[in-house]
Amino acid sequence: MERPYGWVIVAAGSLLGCVAIGALFSLAVFLQPMSEATGWSRTGISTTMTIDFLVMGVAAFGWGALTDRFGPRIVVVSGTILLGLGIVLASRATSLLQFQLIYGIVVGVAAGAVFAPMIATVTGWFDKRRSLAVSLVSAGMGVAPMTVAPFAQWLIQSYDWRTSFLVIGIASWVLLIPAALLVRRAPTAEEGAPGAPAEGGEGLTVGRALRSPQFIVLSLTFFFCCAAHSGPIFHVVSYALACGLPAMTAVTIYSAEGMAGLAGRLLFGVLGDRYGARRIVVIGLMVQAIGAGAYYFARSAGEFYAVAILFGMAYGGVMPLYAVIAREYFPMRIMGTVFGGAAMISSLGMALGPAAGGWLFDNFGGYGLLYVGSFAVGLAAVAMALAFPARPASAVLRPA
């Protein structure tokens, strides 16, 4: 059944994701000016992002549970208020520890209120074009580096870093609070509606859902997927520089990867609706593994661009489809908790890749083993995806 207001939810979710995730990741633009202005180490400032990843994952689980109980609007409004508050307070930080705690915890908690709750909410508004709708929300997050980051760079060139952060925090409130007020809980799906979960769900508790084979396989696939691509994404610029490419070329390779990820979200969304999300995820994960391994052999700029486009389309395309698969398995009334739990586990994989890449470089003098390891982890993701159980026909999922 088509629900026209669902597209309003998609538009609001795209804007919320773009600004919230863009504000979070704008820290990369502030790294050098903050270090020069304050004397804080780049390692210390960068550690803030690791805190953000971990906090955002844990917070996504909690926000997801609150979404199931109270609806998404209060959750998203609370998150947007916290986001602006965290950035504004971070702009006044007088020590590195203070900045890490404010930006790492408050902003991380706020960002967790947007990703999992909005993705879970959108899955309930669509039956036939669910993959495309979820991918469009994810695409909003994907354009964040092309919108918020340049705006942050322009602010830094015109003002100091504190004023720039202050402006971004206030702008977040102005843009996101009205969008958050548009968010509504999805209407209850009609029994037997196309695309609705096969299990009735009346006897399915959160505890049983989190112990089910469906959740375990979904979460582990999500984890291995993120662990496989986070290291290559984070270190691609440094790897290109180590291979002798100019700095500007290295940065444009990273940008090409991001643009390909945006295209992949849209393409995989359409394919997921046509051929099934689980099948497309398996194919996408295989392409992702091949792309990660292919970086090992890249040396020239042309080779890097080719691999970046292949790899970017794959990792960008599969990410939104995990929510679609979750919706096939679980009823809407617990989707926030279930997908928030899967997102929390995936965030551990996201945090693992950059740290592993840095350790391998420091101990072995190069990034080769990172890409070999990412290829192996990518194959593990494919193996897990092949173990996806069939869509349940019984009223209640069986615990593992």
Cα–Cα distances (Å) from 240 to 234, 350, 378, in that order, read 12, 21, 21
Residue 244: how many CB atoms within 10 A of its CB? 10
User: Does residue 239 sit in the same domain as residue 118?
Assistant: no
User: Does residue 306 sit in the same domain as residue 380?
Assistant: yes
At which residue do the structure tokens 């395309």 appear? 317
User: Does residue 211 sit in the same domain as residue 358?
Assistant: yes
- What's the CATH code of the domain at 368? 1.20.1250.20
- The whole-angstrom separation of Cα 207 and Cα 217 is 16
User: Does residue 148 sit in the same domain as residue 69?
Assistant: yes
Look at residue 2 in the predicted model and tell me its pLDDT.
Answer: 53
Is 392 part of a structural domain of the chain? no
pLDDT in tens, 166-213: 999 999 999 999 999 999 988 875 444 444 444 455 567 888 989 999
User: Does residue 215 sit in the same domain as residue 332?
Assistant: yes
pLDDT in tens, 294-310: 999 999 999 999 999 99
At which residue do the structure tokens 């096939």 appear? 328
Is 201 part of a structural domain of the chain? no
Q: Averaged over 96-107, what is the pLDDT? A: 93
Is 350 part of a structural domain of the chain? yes
Q: Which of 175, 153, 197, 211 lies closest to 26, judged by CA? A: 153
Paired tokens of 400:
């593992």
User: Does residue 38 sit in the same domain as residue 145?
Assistant: yes
User: Does residue 220 sit in the same domain as residue 254?
Assistant: yes
Is 396 part of a structural domain of the chain? no
What share of the chain in percent tops pLDDT 70?
Answer: 93
User: Does residue 221 sit in the same domain as residue 145?
Assistant: no
Q: Averaged over 19-29, what is the pLDDT? A: 82
Is 58 part of a structural domain of the chain? yes
User: Does residue 230 sit in the same domain as residue 125?
Assistant: no
Where does the pLDDT of residue 46 fall: very low under 50, low under 70, confident under 90, or very high at 90 and above?
Answer: confident
DSSP 187: P
Where does the pLDDT of residue 97 fall: very low under 50, low under 70, confident under 90, or very high at 90 and above?
Answer: very high
Q: Averaged over 37-64, what is the pLDDT? A: 85
Is 114 part of a structural domain of the chain? yes
- The whole-angstrom separation of Cα 184 and Cα 187 is 9
Q: Averaged over 103-127, what is the pLDDT? A: 89
Q: Which domain holds residue 292?
A: 206-386
Is 398 part of a structural domain of the chain? no
User: Does residue 175 sit in the same domain as residue 213?
Assistant: no
Under a CB-based contact definition with an 8 Å cutoff, are residues 122 and 102 in contact? no
For all residues of the chain together, what is the average pLDDT?
86
Q: CA-based Rg of the chain, rounded to a whole angstrom?
A: 20
Most confident of 119-123, 168-172, 325-329: 168-172
pLDDT at 280 over 80: yes
User: Does residue 171 sit in the same domain as residue 211?
Assistant: no
Under a CB-based contact definition with an 8 Å cutoff, are residues 267 and 316 in contact? no
Q: What is the DSSP annotation of 208-228?
A: HHHHSHHHHHHHHHHHHHHHH
Least confident span in 88-92, 350-354, 371-375: 350-354
Q: Averaged over 240-254, what is the pLDDT? A: 84
Under a CB-based contact definition with an 8 Å cutoff, are residues 117 and 67 in contact? yes
Paired tokens of 340:
């928030």
- The whole-angstrom separation of Cα 324 and Cα 342 is 12
- The whole-angstrom separation of Cα 114 and Cα 77 is 9
Where does the pLDDT of residue 251 fall: very low under 50, low under 70, confident under 90, or very high at 90 and above?
Answer: confident
- The whole-angstrom separation of Cα 203 and Cα 394 is 11
Cα–Cα distances (Å) from 354 to 116, 371, 390, in that order, read 22, 12, 34
Under a CB-based contact definition with an 8 Å cutoff, are residues 285 and 385 in contact? yes
Under a CB-based contact definition with an 8 Å cutoff, are residues 313 and 260 in contact? yes
User: Does residue 122 sit in the same domain as residue 244?
Assistant: no
Cα–Cα distances (Å) from 25 to 8, 30, 144, 147, 391, in that order, read 25, 10, 8, 11, 36
Under a CB-based contact definition with an 8 Å cutoff, are residues 15 and 175 in contact? yes
Is 148 part of a structural domain of the chain? yes
Under a CB-based contact definition with an 8 Å cutoff, are residues 356 and 161 in contact? no
Look at residue 396 in the predicted model and tell me its pLDDT.
Answer: 45
Where does the pLDDT of residue 392 fall: very low under 50, low under 70, confident under 90, or very high at 90 and above?
Answer: low
Residue 343: exposure state from Cβ atoms within 10 A (0-12, 13-18, ≥19): buried
Look at residue 57 in the predicted model and tell me its pLDDT.
Answer: 85
Tell me how many domains the chain contains: 2
DSSP 3-state percent helix, strand, coil across the chain (nearest 5)? 80, 0, 20
Task: State pTM to two decimals.
Answer: 0.78
Q: Between vectors from CA 374 to CA 370 and to CA 376, what angle results, nearest 5°?
A: 120
